[in-house]
Structure 1
Amino acid sequence: MLYNLLYPLSEHFILFNVFKYITFRTAYAIITSLLISLFVGGYLINTLKEMQLSQKAKGYEPARHKEKEGTPTMGGIMIILTALFSTLLWADLTNLYIWIVLFVFIATGVLGFADDYIKTVKKDPEGMKPMVKFSLQLVIAAFAVVCIIIVDESGAATKLALPFFKNMVFDLSFFYILFALFVIVGTSNAVNLTDGLDGLATMPSVIAFGTFILFSYVTGHVQFADYLQIIYVEGSGELAVFCGAMLGAGLGFLWYNTFPATVFMGDVGSLSIGSALATVAVITKHEIVLAIVGGVFVIETVSVIMQVGFFKATKGRRLFRMAPIHHHFELKGWEEPKIIVRFWILAFMLAMIAISTLKLR
């Protein structure tokens, strides 16, 4: 909004020329969402407590999770509202990619809110029926992917680039829609699975959005894209502002969500974070890189798939003590902060590997 209002005035007031720069607006999007989160966080948490919106343990988690009962959930509302406000304030609102990502972000947030509502208000710990939730996720993702293809003017929307290789780009045509649906819905659910310990999903999400600030910026910059031999997507650089807003909102939320957490993000947070991150990856044509950046989410999801598959194949035997895999380490006796911080370190290492793909081609 500030870009649209103030940058045109730069012809008369040179100071307003700074709004032209994505880097400037991204930095202030981070600061804005972070400060607002810190300012409103306490009030939101108290409101959630007063409304008794706390999620009860499902019964099959490690026993010490019983101690977390009574902690308010649905704190992801804070992430959505602060990131939304910051994005609308600092982004170029004529950029259609911004609106596509915001649509996915808000729509999956509403879906997650409905799921949390059933769990907390209706007292059903299982929440929304899995097939209903999955179907709605597919509808949201499909609408977004079609919009991305329509908005694209370069013919890059259905292309898939492989990192670490020069000129390894494949046009998947119609099949790209199915692939993109898998990426968006899969990432959304992967973040949801990871959100099982205090701050476990929050910090890897912050690291991922921080990484995609860089990927969005270079993908939308014709000279950098050409030099780095990546697909150029006109207008995608503006997504760096959204990623910055998410980074700030995530750090602000982590202030309250770090061990011992005073609030959980709930499905309203995890589903919206994952789907928004994946949509940015789809637009910037770094879907495979997302699997590296979000490697923690991938590991958590794969551990569940392996556990279920092994259980069925062996008729009752378990590969891990419990899945997702962070529960396995809990049952091995690791303290919760140790598990969390080690997963954070892994997320940071994976982000560095992902960034290295820009040069290792």
Structure 2
Amino acid sequence: MTTTRTLSTRALNRAVLARQLLLARADLPVVDAVERVLGLNAQSPNPPYLALWSRLAGFVGKELTAALEDRTVVRSVLMRATQHVVSVADFALIRSAVAPLFRRVQRNTFGSRTRALDLDALVAEARELLAGGAVLTRPELGRALAASRPGADASALGWTVQYLLPVVHPAPSGTWNSYGATPFELASWTGVRAEASAESLGVLVRRYLAAFGPATVGDARSWSGIAGLKEIFEQLRPSLRTFRDEAGRELFDVPDAPLQDEDEPAPVRLLPDFDAPLLAYADRTRMMTDDIRRQVCVGDGVAATVLVDGTVAATWTLATAKGTATLTVRPLRKLTKADRQAIEPEALALLAFAQPDSTHEVRIEP
């Protein structure tokens, strides 16, 4: 299946937009959509709702809330050790694969504060505390574990358990506007395994390519945080298509994924902060220029963005005061009059979804 065909940056852009349901809103059930895009970033409660609103026709927020409540989707720490909403099957697949990453994160972040502790015993005690469907918040669990470990840092213990023991964060955590301490529940009911097999890593690579490809090995590593993927790609090579990007890098793709015409029109879309297409690659130029990336990805943050002709053209923020919800667009490149006219109705529609009881105003800065 190897080819020497070179795909332009614009062609790669149209491919990810189509696979991420951003060329046209899809008519899909929530769980199917979450699986199609391979998870929604959920660092805070509302971005998954906004991400689905931008991707699904007629999306109603209570549909995602119901899926979180009936546990057909779950919220937990996953790719890159950040919070995501995924289907139960994808949680089991991904959580096993990122287990080595989590051990490394725990060691690098909390190793000095837990060095004197038996971490296996800590995890075993946490499992007992959470047995039988018990739910404890991270601070509650940390304090309970610290009670039998004089001088231990309760906060470090709670975070350590999150990284070393598969847990999910049950509703109402992760539902619209639900903030507060993160609750823990054992994830054993999901079928998650302690470690991933080479076969399951191969499944995950193919799922990544179906959702974000064509992509390089480095792209998959940046999306997931998983080391050692080069060997998995090589094992899969006979069953994958390969291309080159404009810089000459080798790209992999699943054989049955369509590639859109690079001239296909792309509608304006407002993406929430940390939306996946902005984070799914080592080289993010298919979504934004390097100069714009430096303005969007600041420190550990990734701003909410406006896509115009498929790439990042602006950031947006939403603020409510005295009954008026105002969505402010801050351009990062020149916007034409037609661009501004296309942004306004999409922004007003988002306001109607996110703030239905407020009056609405859209401001597009110079």
Q: What is the TM-score of this pair, normalised by structure 1?
A: 0.21
* Bigger proportion of residues as strand: 2
* Bigger proportion of residues as helix: 1
| Bigger relative contact order, structure 1 or 2 (CA pairs below 8 A, ≥6 apart) | 1
Which has the greater radius of gyration?
2
Q: What is the TM-score of this pair, normalised by structure 2?
A: 0.20
